[in-house]
Amino acid sequence: MNRWPRDDAKLERVRALMADEGLDALVVRAPDNVLYLTNFWGMKGYDACVFPRDGEPVLICLEASEEDAAGDAWTSEVRLVRGYAADDPRPVPARTLDAAVEAARAFGRVGLELSLGTQASDRMVGEPTTFTRAWFDAFPGAADAAPLLARARSVKTDQEVARLRIANEIACQAMHFVRRRLEPGMKESQVAALWQGHVHGEGTARDDVDLALPFSLVWAGKGIKTFTATADLPVVEGEPVLFEIWVCADGYWADHTKNLVVGELKPEYAELEEQLMHAYGAALDFIRPGASMAELDVLVRDAIPPGPSHPICHGVGARAHEPPYPHQAAGGAFEQGMVLAVEPGVYWAGGGGLRVEDNFLVTADRVEKLSAFPDGIVRVE
- Interacting residues of 38 by C-beta distance below 8 A, sequence separation 6+: 49, 51, 57, 59, 73, 74, 75
Give mean pLDDT, residues 40-59.
Answer: 97
Is 129's pLDDT higher than 90?
no
Neighbours of 180 (CB within 10 A): 9
Q: What is the pLDDT of residues 4-48, one digit of tens each?
A: 999 999 999 999 999 999 999 999 999 999 999 999 999 999 999
Q: What is the mean pLDDT of the chain?
A: 96
pLDDT band at 126 (very low <50, low <70, confident <90, very high): confident
CA dist 339 and 323 (Å) reads 10
- Which amino acid does the sequence have at 225? K
**CATH for the 8-154 domain, from 3.20.20.10, 3.30.70.100, 3.40.50.1970, 3.40.350.10:** 3.40.350.10
CA dist 20 and 83 (Å) reads 37
Is 165's pLDDT higher than 90?
yes
The answer to whether the beta carbons of residues 218 and 242 sit under 8 Å apart is: yes
* ∠ Cα 94 82 117 (to 5°): 45
The answer to whether the beta carbons of residues 170 and 254 sit under 8 Å apart is: yes
Bridge partners, residue 254, by sequence: 247
The count of residues in the chain is 381
**CATH for the 158-379 domain, from 3.40.1160.10, 3.10.20.30, 3.50.7.10, 3.90.230.10:** 3.90.230.10
What is the pLDDT at residue 220?
Answer: 98
Q: Exposed, middle or buried, 301 (CB in 10 Å: 0-12/13-18/19+)?
A: middle
Every domain of the chain and the residues it spans: 8-154, 158-379
Q: Exposed, middle or buried, 113 (CB in 10 Å: 0-12/13-18/19+)?
A: buried
Q: What is the pLDDT of residues 65-122, one digit of tens each?
A: 999 999 999 999 999 999 999 999 999 999 999 999 999 999 999 999 999 989 998 9
Angstrom distances, CA of residue 148 to CA of 9, 22, 116, 151, 157 = 16, 11, 11, 5, 16
111 in helix, strand or coil?
strand
Q: What is the pLDDT of residues 230-270, one digit of tens each?
A: 999 999 999 999 999 999 999 999 999 999 999 999 999 99
pTM of the model: 0.96
CA dist 103 and 91 (Å) reads 19
What is the pLDDT at residue 306?
Answer: 87
CA dist 262 and 291 (Å) reads 39
> Comparing 8-154 with 158-379, is the CATH topology the same?
no
- Interacting residues of 201 by C-beta distance below 8 A, sequence separation 6+: none
What is the pLDDT at residue 127?
Answer: 82
Give mean pLDDT, residues 181-191.
Answer: 98
Is 298's pLDDT higher than 70?
yes
What is the pLDDT at residue 381?
Answer: 81
What is the pLDDT at residue 125?
Answer: 87
What is the pLDDT at residue 1?
Answer: 63
